[in-house]
Chain A
Amino acid sequence: QQPVQSPQAVILREGEDAVINCSSSKALYSVHWYRQKHGEAPVFLMILLKGGEQKGHEKISASFNEKKQQSSLYLTASQLSYSGTYFCGTETGNQFYFGTGTSLTVIP
């Protein structure tokens, strides 16, 4: 039931763009995105509620394709502070699952 994310890891130079994908085998009604830095708790980035909806947070945006049961997170002009592990999260019944995670490293 855990959503699958791709890629597992990515290394970027400052200023480059990245896309992180989240795919579920179950129907998605909403998708959350969180970022976790090493040794810290996950921090909420954004939530998408409807199919095709796109939201943004500074230079980070996301899309949600309800029919395909997929969501993608877009990071543009990456900054050093973007480094961390990104998780998508989805709710099934009374369980809230996190995806497999994508480790993002931004280097100067």
Chain B
Amino acid sequence: DTGVSQNPRHKITKRGQNVTFRCDPISEHNRLYWYRQTLGQGPEFLTYFQNEAQLEKSRLLSDRFSAERPKGSFSTLEIQRTEQGDSAMYLCASGAWSHNSPLHFGNGTRLTVT
């Protein structure tokens, strides 16, 4: 168990550029969540995967955001045409099949849009 891994740790991009983040969950975990967190706030739910199926997507998520989890393994979160308001920490969490099992978080990707 190597934990949840996220890459890159930091990303600085110019407004209007596209960015993609990667999350490698704990191998046997079939639940995977993406969250966005800004300074002083709690993690804000973005989307949920159960294996390769994206079962839930936050209404707050604009069309510029898309996530995939091919083959139910790693996941990617892409933001197109980034805006300064997208600057935040993007966290990935994974959990075992039971919804009563804990979530394990990666260290996050900090995005700065200039």
Contacts and interface: CB of A to CB of B under 8 A. Distances in A.
A101 B45 CA distance: 14
Interface in B61-113: 91, 93, 99-108
B26 to A, nearest CB: 12
Interface residues of B, number: 24
B102 A32 contact: yes
Contacts of B100: 30, 47, 49
Interface string A80-101: 0000010101010111111111
Given A96-B48, A101-B41, A89 B56 contact: no
A54 to B, nearest CB: 16
A101 B35 CA distance: 15
A51 interface: no
B42 A41 contact: no
